[in-house]
């Protein structure tokens, strides 16, 4: 009877394990087979074996279990490749959190998978379920439940042993997702990234925001920071865009004390990375594994940062973001970072929308209202949403092409046209904020930057555009403009530069 169990288990177990390496050939970038570290192979086989055991325990059909695990790997390959196309980065362990976000915010994430791939994955699962339930009988009734359970336990123990053998110290990851995927394979890289995030993260050095603030005075200026969703000067990507599209942005750059391009740690998404680096002055190298989603653990601690620094200097600190505060766990992270208030989507119930999201105009109005009602120096950190994709779900309106281009763009540029329509509204937001601050009785500073470039894969491919930098400026009311010309910075340097320019950081 024992021999019957292992004869039934061996072909699907071993055949499925071999096919799991074949499924990896679908991944972008493709993991190497020859030269892969033996420990990574051990982790791959250990995870395959444990997954096979868990599914077999449920369905009790060996071939059915193997096919279900393979279908799951195909699903992960589809998700990985969709992320590579949209965000220029493979799927990592920290992205599993987005599976729950898909249920909460389906429009924000799900369309990037693509209808074709989604249908293909669902068809694959459907076919596996049909074949497994129709053509295979349960193993436990054939071998007996006691033998089935004991054999499954031995197999699971072997899988756990492979994981243990394949997990060295230190972990063989470089936190460069594409490189780690190529060297280690998907399952091993996911396993190592998950282990790297265990425990309480160490406090990185944030000495710039730990310094003593300048003594409080009646003249402390208002500080307004705008993290403009997907903002960058799109005129760099296509010469046919009208030069006056960002007229107000160009004007305030000429009047700014500092402006240029800003290097951000994300492409097309992962806003939290740019956001956290700006607030804390910490770059990716200082964050280690927490660079992929610093709000999961690291931001929940009282880390010195720009908001806490200003709060200690007597500022009221307010975040304005027209989206649910629970997204990215900001509901717990932002109080820990030192924000007094978070004005989320609930504070924009009757606000104007432009496209599917609250308009930039409404965010500018809310910022103005916060400053008007405040009787003390105030930091407003505004995070806009209007420019957020998926851009391909919106349609080009009549007159958009004539209004936004000097010449008709090539076919396949509809996403860019939709983006430019929102970009023009961001330009109007710049004007509104500048006018409001100039009319304010209190001194004021305005810092503006884009968190990442938008998701425009067809346009980038057609133009060979690969510059992920966004644009920024630091403007001070009544201050003379910088004569030295553009100055490129890293996002972790920008918040420090703002406070230094405003005379609040020694």
* Token pair listed for 363: 């965010």
Helices 62-87 and 115-135 sit at what angle, rounded to 10 degrees?
A: 180
Least confident window among 111-120, 362-371, 438-447, 473-482 = 111-120
d(CA 158, CA 162): 6
* Token pair listed for 28: 């972008």
In which band, very low, low, confident or very high, does the pLDDT at 113 lie, cut at 50, 70 and 90?
A: low
| Mean pLDDT to the nearest integer, 171-193 | 96
d(CA 363, CA 322): 7
For residues 482 and 255, the answer to whether their CB atoms sit within 8 Å is no
Largest CA-CA distance found in the chain, in angstroms, rounded: 88
For residues 267 and 278, the answer to whether their CB atoms sit within 8 Å is no
pLDDT score recorded for residue 2:
74
Q: Is the pLDDT of residue 42 over 70?
A: yes
For residue 167, give the DSSP letter: -
Per-residue model confidence as pLDDT tens digits over 363-392: 999 999 999 999 899 999 999 999 998 998
| Mean pLDDT to the nearest integer, 230-235 | 97
**3-class DSSP assignment, residue 381:** strand
In which band, very low, low, confident or very high, does the pLDDT at 114 lie, cut at 50, 70 and 90?
A: low
Half-sphere exposure of residue 43: CA atoms within 13 angstroms, side-chain side:
22
Q: Is the pLDDT of residue 217 over 70?
A: no
Q: Is the pLDDT of residue 214 over 70?
A: no
Sheet containing 316-320: order of strands: 341-343, 316-320, 378-383, 222-228, 444-450, 470-476, 258-263, 489-490
pLDDT score recorded for residue 98:
80
For residues 237 and 447, the answer to whether their CB atoms sit within 8 Å is no
* Token pair listed for 222: 């208002």
* Token pair listed for 225: 């920071």
- Report the share of the chain in percent with pLDDT over 90: 76
pLDDT score recorded for residue 100:
76
In which band, very low, low, confident or very high, does the pLDDT at 213 lie, cut at 50, 70 and 90?
A: low
pLDDT score recorded for residue 275:
97
Per-residue model confidence as pLDDT tens digits over 53-112: 999 999 999 999 999 999 999 999 999 999 999 999 999 999 998 877 766 766 666 676
Q: Is the pLDDT of residue 199 over 70?
A: yes
| Mean pLDDT to the nearest integer, 239-252 | 96
Give the CA distances from residue 280 to residues 28, 286, 342, 502, in Å, rounded to whole numbers and listed in that order. 33, 11, 18, 17
d(CA 242, CA 235): 8
For 330-352, the DSSP string reads HHHHHHHHT-SEEE-GGGGTT--
Give the CA distances from residue 303 to residues 280, 313, 380, 383, 495, in Å, rounded to whole numbers and listed in that order. 8, 16, 19, 20, 15
* Average pLDDT across the chain, whole number: 91
Which of 461, 455, 479 has the alpha carbon at shortest distance from 230?
A: 455
- 444-450 and 470-476 beta bridge pairing: antiparallel
* Token pair listed for 297: 């653990």
d(CA 472, CA 454): 15
For residues 224 and 463, the answer to whether their CB atoms sit within 8 Å is no
Q: Which residues are within 8 A (CB) of 462 and not within 5 positions of it... i.e. 6 or more apart?
A: 410, 412, 413
For residues 317 and 338, the answer to whether their CB atoms sit within 8 Å is yes
Which of 192, 184, 132 has the alpha carbon at shortest distance from 27?
A: 184
Q: What angle do CA 373, 377, 382 make, to 5 degrees?
A: 70
For residues 316 and 380, the answer to whether their CB atoms sit within 8 Å is no
**3-class DSSP assignment, residue 147:** helix
| Mean pLDDT to the nearest integer, 416-430 | 97
Per-residue model confidence as pLDDT tens digits over 2-24: 778 888 899 999 999 999 999 99
d(CA 426, CA 462): 25
Q: Is the pLDDT of residue 406 over 70?
A: yes
* Token pair listed for 47: 């995870």
- 489-490 and 258-263 beta bridge pairing: parallel
Per-residue model confidence as pLDDT tens digits over 271-299: 999 999 999 999 999 999 999 999 988 88
d(CA 303, CA 312): 13
Give the CA distances from residue 66 to residues 18, 225, 246, in Å, rounded to whole numbers and listed in that order. 11, 52, 55
The pTM score is 0.92
Which of 379, 439, 432 has the alpha carbon at shortest distance from 224?
A: 379
Q: What are the boundaries of each domain within the chain? A: 2-196, 207-245+299-501
In which band, very low, low, confident or very high, does the pLDDT at 231 lie, cut at 50, 70 and 90?
A: very high
User: From the centroid of its chain, how far is CA 146?
Assistant: 47
Q: Is the pLDDT of residue 121 over 80?
A: no
Superfamily of domain 207-245+299-501: Alkaline Phosphatase, subunit A (3.40.720.10)
Helices (H), 185-329: 186-196, 247-254, 271-280, 284-287, 306-312
With tokens 């033996």, the residue in question is 38
Q: Which residues are within 8 A (CB) of 61 and not within 5 positions of it... i.e. 6 or more apart?
A: 132, 133, 136, 137, 138, 139
Least confident window among 118-122, 330-334, 430-434, 450-454 = 118-122
Asked, as a colleague might, if the bond just before 390 is cis with ω within 30 of 0, I would say: yes
């Amino acid at each position: 009877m024992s021999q019957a169990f292992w004869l039934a288990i061996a072909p699907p177990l071993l055949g499925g394990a071999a096919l799991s390496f074949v499924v990896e050939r679908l991944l972008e970038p493709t993991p190497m087979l020859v030269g892969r570290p033996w420990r990574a192979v051990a982790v791959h086989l250990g995870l395959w074996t444990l997954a096979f055991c868990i599914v077999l325990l449920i369905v009790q059909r060996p071939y059915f279990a193997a096919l279900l695990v393979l279908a799951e790997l195909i699903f992960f390959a589809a998700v990985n490749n969709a992320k590579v196309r949209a965000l220029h980065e493979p799927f990592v362990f920290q992205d599993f959190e987005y599976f729950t976000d898909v249920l909460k915010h389906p429009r924000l994430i799900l369309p990037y998978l693509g209808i074709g791939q989604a249908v293909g994955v669902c068809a694959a699962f459907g076919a596996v379920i049909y074949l497994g339930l129709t053509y295979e009988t349960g193993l436990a009734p054939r071998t007996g439940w006691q033998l089935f359970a004991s054999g499954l336990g031995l197999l699971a123990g072997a899988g756990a042993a492979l994981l243990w053998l394949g997990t060295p110290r230190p972990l063989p990851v470089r936190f460069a997702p594409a490189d780690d995927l190529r060297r280690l394979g998907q399952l091993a890289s996911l396993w190592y990234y998950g282990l790297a995030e265990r425990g309480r993260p160490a406090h990185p050095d944030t000495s710039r925001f730990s310094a003593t603030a300048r003594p409080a005075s009646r003249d402390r200026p208002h500080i307004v920071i705008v993290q403009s969703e997907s903002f960058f000067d799109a005129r760099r990507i296509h010469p046919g865009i009208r030069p006056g599209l960002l007229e107000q942005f160009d004007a305030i750059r000429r009047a700014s004390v500092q402006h240029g391009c800003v290097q951000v740690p994300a492409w097309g998404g992962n806003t939290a990375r740019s956001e956290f680096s700006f607030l804390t002055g910490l770059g990716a190298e200082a964050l280690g594994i927490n660079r992929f989603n610093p709000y999961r653990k690291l931001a929940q601690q009282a880390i010195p940062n720009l908001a806490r620094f200003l709060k200690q200097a007597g500022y009221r600190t307010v975040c304005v973001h027209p989206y649910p505060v629970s997204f990215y766990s900001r509901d717990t992270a932002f109080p820990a970072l030192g924000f007094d208030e978070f004005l989320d989507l609930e504070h924009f119930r009757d606000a104007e929308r432009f496209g599917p999201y609250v308009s930039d105009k409404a965010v500018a109005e809310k910022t103005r209202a916060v400053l008007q009602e405040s009787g003390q120096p105030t930091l407003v950190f505004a995070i806009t949403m209007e420019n957020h994709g998926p851009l391909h779900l919106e349609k080009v309106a009549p007159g958009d092409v004539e209004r936004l281009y000097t010449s008709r763009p090539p076919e396949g540029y509809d996403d860019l046209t939709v983006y430019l329509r929102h970009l023009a509204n961001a330009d109007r937001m710049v004007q509104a904020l500048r006018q409001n601050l100039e009319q304010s009785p209190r001194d004021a500073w305005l810092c503006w930057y884009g968190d990442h470039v938008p998701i425009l894969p067809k346009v980038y491919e057609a133009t060979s555009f690969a510059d992920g930098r966004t644009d920024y400026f630091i403007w001070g009311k009544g201050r003379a403009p910088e004569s030295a010309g553009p100055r490129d910075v890293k996002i972790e340097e920008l918040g420090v530069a703002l406070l230094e320019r405003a005379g609040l950081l020694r």
